Amino acid sequence: MPVPNQFIVYVSDAPAAARFYGDLFDMKPVFETPAFIAFDLAPGVQLALWSRAEVDLAATTVRTGELCLAVDGAPASVDALYESWTAKGVRVVAEPTDDVFGRTFVVADPDGNLIRVAPID
């Protein structure tokens, strides 16, 4: 049975978003066009950034999903990543806190898409 293998994030400027995600996650694109750029996350799984003029990315858009980076060695590794990302000037949505599943924080990309860091389950 087919399973989802690509996560698409709508952005206003795909090249700018690719620089943001590439720097944040220390990865390079595997496919690039002016409006669609993809990164390999794992074998057979991609993160794609798609800038589409017909998609309204206004601040009033309800964000109902998050990208999640699950890290080993929490809570220290979560706090260390928070320090590293804030040093890069990333916009913080929620500072590190202890939640039901462990230490976590949330940042946003330039278009307001949410990125959560949490411990590996």
Could you tell me if 98 and 71 lie in one domain? yes
CA distance 105 to 8: 22
> The CATH number of the domain where 15 resides is what?
3.30.720.120
Query: What SS3 class is residue 73?
Result: coil
Type of residue at 31: F
pTM of the model: 0.86
Burial category of 105 from C-beta neighbours within 10 Å (exposed 0-12, middle 13-18, buried 19 and up):
buried
Mean pLDDT for 88-108 is 96
- Write down the pLDDT at residue 93: 95
Confidence of residue 81 (pLDDT cuts 50, 70, 90): very high
- Write down the pLDDT at residue 55: 64
Q: Whats the size of the chain, residue-wise?
A: 121
Could you tell me if 32 and 81 lie in one domain? no
- Write down the pLDDT at residue 34: 92
Could you tell me if 46 and 93 lie in one domain? no
Mean pLDDT for 47-52 is 90
